[in-house]
Structure 1
Amino acid sequence: MTLDRLVCANCSGPVSEGRCPTCRASRARMMEQQGLFASLSPATLIALLAALIACVVIARHAFA
């Protein structure tokens, strides 16, 4: 999940803006937990998956 989509239950503002201490704590925690693909959007991940599948199909036809 990305920060721009989270809404704080305490202040009803976007967590990415950090309006209250709860938002700032959540934002800091999520920044620490980000992995390799955390900064990529879902559309980018789908495009990468489609490209990987296409490469596998091409390689399979080339070596078959």
Structure 2
Amino acid sequence: MTYDRLVCANCAAPVSEGRCPVCRASREQLQHQAGGIFAQLNPVALVALLIVLITVGALLHQIA
């Protein structure tokens, strides 16, 4: 789950908007934790990337 879908218990607003200090602190902490190379990609983009890599691998296998 990404932090843009989380709701703050303090102000009942989405954490991604950062309306209160609790939201801003939570948003900063979650952004710091999710610093991986594929962290910002959504699942559809990851599946598309996987399909492209499999296709390239199959093409390279046929050439060799």
- Structure 2 regions of 5+ residues with no counterpart? none
Provide the TM-score with structure 1 as the length reference: 0.76
Amino acid at match of 1:32: H
Question: Structure 1 runs of 4+ off > 6 angstroms?
Answer: none
Higher relative contact order, chain-length normalized (CA < 8 Å, sep 6+): 1
Task: Give deviations 1:6-61, integer Å, cap 9, x for gaps.
Answer: 22233321111012222111100112122211122221111111100111111112
RMSD over aligned Cα atoms: 1.6
Number of residue equivalences: 63
Provide the TM-score with structure 2 as the length reference: 0.76
Q: 2:15 and 2:39 mapped to 1: Cα distance?
A: 16
- Structure 1 regions of 5+ residues with no counterpart? none
